[in-house]
Amino acid sequence: DGAEAIELLDNSRFDLVLTDIRMPRLDGVALAMHILSRLPTVPIITMTAFPSEDLRPIWGYGIQCLRKPLLLDELRSNVQRALS
């Protein structure tokens, strides 16, 4: 839930955000835009199973978008890269 994620981000410190694109109340694109405006140094990795998702609003911000189903090695390497 993207709205719940915003509450967590406002009250805690995170080194990385890993989020789905399709979520209730606030989708992953809107969540990513919120994070970029408030916490621009926190890396964001998004995931989606839907290739037709409109990700244009987050293009150019260095946000990685992974396609599901994910391989564990793919996820691990993207997390390591984002945190380095």
| pLDDT tens-digit series, residues 47-63 | 999 877 778 788 888 88
Cα–Cα distance measured from residue 34 to residue 44, given in angstroms and rounded to the nearest whole number: 11
CATH for 2-83 (3.40.50.300, 3.40.50.2300, 3.40.50.1980, 3.40.50.150): 3.40.50.2300
Q: From start to end of 7-55, where are the E strands? A: 17-20, 44-48
Cα–Cα distance measured from residue 28 to residue 26, given in angstroms and rounded to the nearest whole number: 7
- Determine what percent of the chain is predicted with pLDDT higher than 70: 98
Quick one: tokens of 73? 């090695």
Q: What pTM did the predictor assign?
A: 0.88
Cα–Cα distance measured from residue 60 to residue 77, given in angstroms and rounded to the nearest whole number: 20
- Which residues make Cβ contacts (< 8 Å) with residue 55, sequence separation at least 6? 21, 29, 46, 48, 65
